[in-house]
Chain A
Amino acid sequence: MWAYLHKLASPQGFYALSVRLSPWCWGLALTLMVVGTIWGLGFAPADYQQGNSFRIIYVHVPAALLAQSIYVTMAVAGLVFLVWRIKLADMAATAMAPLGAAMTFLALFSGAVWGVPTWGTWWQWDARLTSMLLLLFLYFGVLALRGALGGRQSAARAASVLTLVGVINIPIIQYSVEWWYTLHQPATFSVTSRPAMPSDMWLPLLVMVLGFYCLFLAVTLTRTRHEILRREASRRWVRALTGEGS
């Protein structure tokens, strides 16, 4: 068991696993997302209040879920890297950060587009939108620190510390933003207290969420593999793989 884990945590072992797994992940992700999109956009009934505009939920909710999960996953990877010095964990964290920022942006953007038919405005200083925006800035901070420190040894550990500090702060930020929002804004239109969705509305949503998570897995596997190749370029097994050298 431990020997297997050890082999998995080595860049070479992970590379082999990733080559085998990632086509399946990509396939599953695309299938689920295509099925979820067609089901959600074409066959799910329209909302009695919001009409067809509610269908943005099939992009918005999975993106928002993923935005937060990716940050937490990055923090876990950062902790693993700091504690056990497993280089692979940092490679994975590097690989998933841009996707997390992209998902946060997608959640914000789809939220803004959704805001036009429901709130009548592109941007509302709603508690969730605001904390999403702050999450985007946290992602930017991690990306900027990595970028500024470049390829230095300290970049990985500094980014891990920053991600951990961020993950401790995320709940504090979210609760304080909610507190701020309830103090300042009368409850205008709440997306949260909508009546429970019938199953033919949330089943496609579930498919989409699963599809997005598979996409996350697939992107992380693929990008981590690229990161391994980039960082281990001088190792013998990589040179053998790419046909360089003997």
Chain B
Amino acid sequence: MSRPERDGAAGPTPARALRGMMRRDLLLLSRHPGAWLNPLAFFALVITLFPIGISPSASLLSDLAPGLLWVAALLATLLSLDGLFRDDAEDGSLEQLLLSPQPLPLLILGRVAIHWASTGLPLALMAPLLGVMLSLPAESYLLLMVALALGSATLGLIGAIGAALTIGVARGGIILPLLVLPLYVPVLIFGSGALQAAIGGGNAAPHLAVLGALLALALMLAPWATAAALRISLNG
């Protein structure tokens, strides 16, 4: 099948298509609150397990807190990734997306932005609450939120590539972590590094700058890689 012929005036502009798709994604999220609430519950649950498994000692926990919060956030993001394209692939709307004359990387960027706003951002907003439970020093809460918000956007962009590659796999949820987690290591290092620097009285700005640089790089490359991966997964 070739693309349907369009006369220039009839087709929506890319900006309109993007708006329409983002509105649809938001609507879907409001109808299925589990999609964004479950990762948050998972995040809180994992953080609850650590004091039980390690020790309730406040000094020990506050030392471990940056790493624990970041690892738990990483896993929570991972949990939400599998649904990024799978539902659309199953009901066929993903094929419509691919067939549409709109630039696919742009539409993917819109979807990842909504995904970030519904998982990464809530995770960042909720993190201080869990920080209290891990007796993280109060001065570092703002930094924790900024770093998580920046980092989780990168995680979503990288994860989208993995999610797109594993659409064709029946239980993609199992191999997705294997594909994506090694690529998450730099974000983990600089994200928890920012917190540790702040707690240790150092300067967190360089870490945040690197997190920003990673996000810029991911913004530049990941949508195209995801678009290529989607075309491969659906055409194969």
Contacts and interface: CB of A to CB of B under 8 A. Distances in A.
A168 B221 contact: yes
Contact of B228 (A148, A161, A177, A180): A161
Interface in B184-230: 185-186, 189-190, 193, 196, 210, 214, 217, 221, 225, 228-229
A224 B185 CA distance: 33
Given A154-B235, A161-B232, A180 B193 contact: yes
Nearest to A142: B179
A38 interface: no
Given A176-B186, A180-B193, A149 B221 contact: no
Contacts of A59: none
A137 B168 contact: no
Contacts of A154: 168, 232-233, 235-236
B165 interface: yes
A176 B190 contact: yes
Contacts of A141: 175, 178-179, 182
Given A154-B168, A155-B236, A158-B236, A134 B185 contact: yes
Contact of A145 (B179, B190, B214): B179
- For this complex, into which size category does the number of interface residues on chain B fall? 20 to 34
Contact of A169 (B166, B183, B236): B183
Contact of B229 (A155, A161, A172, A180): A161
Nearest to B233: A154
Interface of A: 82, 134, 137-138, 140-141, 144-145, 148-149, 152-155, 157-158, 161-162, 164-166, 168-169, 172-173, 176-177, 179-180, 183
Interface of B: 161, 165-166, 168-169, 172, 175, 178-179, 181-183, 185-186, 189-190, 193, 196, 210, 214, 217, 221, 225, 228-229, 232-233, 235-236
